[in-house]
């Protein structure tokens, strides 16, 4: 846990968020600036700065976030097409340095992304 981390504060419930799912390892909440009809962030409760800071100890948690995304997508009938994204580093748009998986769906998703 990091006291000055936005997503740690959301995990602790100190900053409000529209939570859509939670379990013992993760919290998922609606992105405040949605880029698609479904735009959910899946966040591990444990603070990990990002994918490039992750270690093999974090491997299961990183993969587990993908399974949580798949579960939310299934429940929302998004299985025709959705995207899960880890933005890694400022050059790829990472702005919050607590690992989070974006789940985007509910509209056509172009490839390659911008």
Distance of closest approach, residue 84 Cβ to ligand AMP, in angstroms: 12
Of 3, 56, 77, 95, the one binding ligand AMP (CB under 6 A) is: 95
Of 8, 10, 41, 73, the one binding Zn ion (CB under 5 A) is: 8
How many chain residues bind Zn ion (CB under 5 A)?
Answer: 6
What sign for the dihedral angle of Cα 49, 33, 39, 28? positive
Nearest to ligand AMP of 19, 76 (CB atom) = 19
Residue 41, C-beta contacts closer than 8 angstroms, at least 6 positions apart = 7, 28, 29, 30, 31, 100, 101, 102, 103
Question: Considering only residues 23-52, where is the footprint of Zn ion by CB under 5 A?
Answer: 47
Distance of closest approach, residue 57 Cβ to ligand AMP, in angstroms: 22
Ramachandran sector of residue 29 (left: φ over 0; alpha: ψ -120 to 50; beta: rest): beta
Residue 87 in contact with ligand AMP, rule: CB under 6 A? yes
Q: Which of 2, 78, 80, 89 is nearest to 40 (CA)?
A: 78
Q: Is 98 a catalytic residue?
A: no
Active site residues: 100
């Amino acid at each position: 846990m990091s006291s000055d981390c936005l997503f740690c504060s959301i995990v602790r419930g100190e900053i409000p968020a529209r939570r859509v799912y939670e379990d013992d390892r993760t919290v998922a909440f609606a992105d405040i600036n949605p880029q698609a009809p479904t735009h959910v962030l899946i966040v591990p409760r444990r603070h990990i700065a990002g994918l490039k800071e992750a270690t093999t100890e974090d491997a299961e948690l990183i993969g587990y976030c993908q399974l949580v995304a798949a579960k939310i997508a299934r429940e929302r009938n998004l299985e025709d097409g959705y995207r899960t994204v880890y933005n890694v580093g400022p050059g790829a748009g990472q702005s919050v340095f607590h690992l989070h998986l974006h789940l985007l769906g509910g509209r056509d998703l172009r490839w390659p992304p911008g």
